[in-house]
Amino acid sequence: MKRLTVLACVAAMSFGPGHALAVDAAAADALVRKSKCFTCHHKTKEKDGPPFAETAEKYRGKPEAIEKLIKHVTVPSKVKVDGSEEDHETLRSDDPADAKNVVEWILSF
């Protein structure tokens, strides 16, 4: 009986203290896929661009992250890939809410 209680507590803790961001992960994933972001990014593995999990780690606890990253994924810029400059893709959506959703999704990794 005691053992069951302990298990229940462990289970409860692993679900919390999640953050209360209402991220639509399916929509974010679909838009990122459509925008070809996965050619250079993976959620956890190193590709030409940093893994999203690394970006989430880098910006953890930084309040300016969302605004900065929304700009990064909506304003065209240049990035270095293997020493040569390439265009950094932007999201194929003009809706600012979509960009915010994608950024919050990336930061949730």
Binding site for ligand HEC (CB under 6 A): 32, 35-37, 39-41, 48-50, 55, 58, 69, 72-73, 79, 81, 86, 88-91, 102, 106
Between 43 and 50, name the residue whose CB sits nearer to ligand HEC.
50
Tell me how far, at minimum, the Cβ of 20 lies from ligand HEC, in Å. Answer: 22
Looking at this protein, which amino acid is placed at residue 54? E
Tell me how far, at minimum, the Cβ of 102 lies from ligand HEC, in Å. Answer: 6
Tell me how far, at minimum, the Cβ of 61 lies from ligand HEC, in Å. Answer: 15
- What is the CA angle 23-29-32, rounded to 5? 115
Chain centroid, CA 45 distance in Å = 13
SS (H, E, C) 77-102: EEEEECCEEEEECCCCCCCHHHHHHH
